[in-house]
Amino acid sequence: MKRKFLSLALVLFCVSVAFGQNKEKTKAPSSYKNTEFHADYKPSYKNDGSDKPIKNVILMIGDGMGLAQATAGMYANHNALTITNLKNIGLVKTFSLSDFITDSAASGTAYATGKKTKNGCVGVDSLGNKFPNMTEILSPLGYATGIVTTDKITGATPSAFYAHQIKRNMTKEILEDLVDTKALFVAGSSVKVFEKDGTGKLDDLKKKKFKVLHDYKKLSSSMKAEKIALICDNTNAQFISEGRDPNYLKETTAQAIKFLSNKSNKGFFLMVEGAQIDWASHNNAIENVVREVLDFDKAVEEALRFADKNGETLVIITADHETGGMALREGNIKKGKIKARFATGGHSPIMVPVYAYGPQAQNFRGVQDNTEIFAKILSALQVKK
C-alpha cells in the first residue's frame, strides 16, 4: 500500500511539473501598441546588385534580431520598415564551433574574422591564438575603420572587431586592446566601465591621438580630429524606454560615416550594432523589441541615404543570432499593435536574415554561414586576406 501511495505521489508530481512547464510555455502573449511611427526610406536602387566596384562597407548588426523581431517592427510601424525595402536578401547560419546555439562573442568573431570559435571567445580560438579582424586587415591597406554600438564598447559584438581575449568578460584586458585598436572612430558606453576596469585607459586613448568625447552631440564639431572615441555615460547602453537618447544611434552612425569618408580616399569600413534588440528579447519584452528595432531602422536609413548619394558603398544588415525564439500572434497594422510569445529567455539556433544594398549586394543572397559574410566583404573590396 505504501509503495502504491509513493508511486501515485510520484505520478502526480511528474504531472504537476509537466503542467507547470506547459503553463510556462503557453503563458499569455505580451502585447504592445506602438505610438512612435516613422516613415520608411525607399532607396533609389540605382546601383543595387550591380557589379560596380565598391570603396566602402557598412556592416550593421541588429543583435538578436531574427525575422520575427524585424517583422514585429515592420507591422508595428504601419507595415513599413526601411530594412524590409531591400531586395537582396539571404539567410545566415549562426552555430559556433562549440555549440549549436551561438553566443555574441563567437558570432561576432565569425563576422569580424571569418573564423568559427567557441562560445565566449573574442577574436581568438580556444587556445588564445589571435584571428586578425576586419579593422586590423583593412586599416593597414589604407581604409578608415570604425565601430558604433548601443552596448558597452567592451560588449562581445563590438569587441570582436578590435579585441583578442579568451573570455568575453575579461573587460580589463579588452579595454587594453581598445587602446591599441586600428579603428579611427569608436563609439559606445560607458564611462563607468573605464572607472571600474580601465583606470587610466581614457588617458591612454588620448595619448594614442583619440579625441575622447562623452556626448554624441559634440561629434559634428570634432570632424577635424585625427581619431574619435565617443564614450557615453551608462544611459546610452540602456533601452530607449529607460532613458537612452532616441537620436543617439542614428546621429552617431551619420557622424561616423561622415568622419570616416573624409579620412581616406581608399574607402572605409564601419560596423554599427543595435545591441538592445538582444536584451529586449532576452527579457521577452515586446515593447522594447519593437522600439529597439525601429531605432535600429533609423540608423539603417542613414547608411542607405549615404550609399545612394555615394554610389560606391555596400550596406549589409544582419544579426549575430536570434534571441528569444520569438513568435508573433495577433496584431493590428492600422493601430500599430503586435502580440508575441517567446520560447526562451536565451538565444536560438534559428537562421537570421541578411539584407544587402548597393553594388555587389547580389552576392549575399541564399543560405550562407556567418563566416562567409566576412569573406564576401573582402571579396567585394577586392582584398585578399
Written as tens digits, the pLDDT of the chain (385 aa) is: 444 433 444 333 333 333 333 333 334 358 999 999 999 999 999 999 999 999 999 999 999 999 999 999 999 999 999 999 999 999 999 999 999 999 999 999 999 999 999 999 999 999 999 999 999 999 999 999 999 999 999 999 999 999 999 999 999 999 999 999 999 999 999 999 999 999 999 999 999 999 999 999 999 999 999 999 999 998 888 999 999 999 999 999 999 999 999 999 999 999 999 999 999 999 999 999 999 999 999 999 999 999 999 999 999 999 999 999 999 999 999 999 999 999 999 999 999 999 999 999 999 999 999 999 999 999 999 998 7
- Beta partners for residue 342, in sequence order: 326
Contact between residue 157 and residue 151 where contact means Cβ atoms under 8 Å apart: yes
Quote the pLDDT of residue 235.
85
Quote the pLDDT of residue 19.
33
| Residue indicated by cell numbers 540605382 | 46
Phi and psi (nearest 5°) for 50? -85, 170
Range(s) of the domain holding residue 154: 50-264+279-349+366-380
Measured distance CA(171)–CA(187) in Å, rounded: 16
Measured distance CA(117)–CA(103) in Å, rounded: 10
Residue 234, judged by CB atoms within 10 A of its CB (0-12, 13-18, 19+), counts as: middle
pTM of the full structure: 0.92
Contact between residue 186 and residue 146 where contact means Cβ atoms under 8 Å apart: yes
Contact between residue 97 and residue 372 where contact means Cβ atoms under 8 Å apart: no
Closest Cα to residue 146, out of 130, 156, 128, 133? 133
Residue 180 in any domain: the answer is: yes
Please provide the DSSP assignment of 336-361 as one string: TEEEEEES-SSEE---EEEEEESTTG
Residue 289 in any domain: the answer is: yes
Contact between residue 309 and residue 44 where contact means Cβ atoms under 8 Å apart: no
Residue 189 in any domain: the answer is: yes
Residue 241 in any domain: the answer is: yes
Contacts of residue 299, defined as CB under 8 A and 6 or more positions apart, other chains included, come to 60, 249, 250, 253, 272, 274
Assign 196 to helix, strand or coil. Answer: helix
Cis peptide before 31 (omega within 30 of 0): no
Contact between residue 327 and residue 340 where contact means Cβ atoms under 8 Å apart: yes
Contact between residue 189 and residue 243 where contact means Cβ atoms under 8 Å apart: no
Contacts of residue 269, defined as CB under 8 A and 6 or more positions apart, other chains included, come to 56, 57, 58, 59, 134, 135, 138, 143, 144, 145, 146, 377
Task: Tell me the three cell numbers of residue 116.
Answer: 568559427
Query: What's the structural domain count of the chain?
Result: 1
Residue 26 in any domain: the answer is: no
Contact between residue 81 and residue 298 where contact means Cβ atoms under 8 Å apart: no
Measured distance CA(215)–CA(153) in Å, rounded: 15
Residue 359 in any domain: the answer is: no
- Beta partners for residue 83, in sequence order: none
Contacts of residue 121, defined as CB under 8 A and 6 or more positions apart, other chains included, come to 105, 106, 109, 165, 166, 167, 168
Task: Tell me the three cell numbers of residue 226.
Answer: 585625427
* Order of strands, sheet of 88-93, starting from the edge strand that comes earlier in the sequence: 210-213, 227-232, 185-189, 144-152, 268-274, 56-62, 313-318, 352-357, 88-93, 366-369
Segments of 105-169 assigned E as strands? 144-152
Quote the pLDDT of residue 368.
98
| Residue indicated by cell numbers 577574436 | 123
Measured distance CA(134)–CA(58) in Å, rounded: 12
Contacts of residue 294, defined as CB under 8 A and 6 or more positions apart, other chains included, come to 34, 36, 38, 73, 76, 77, 81
What CATH number is given to the structural domain containing 121? 3.40.720.10
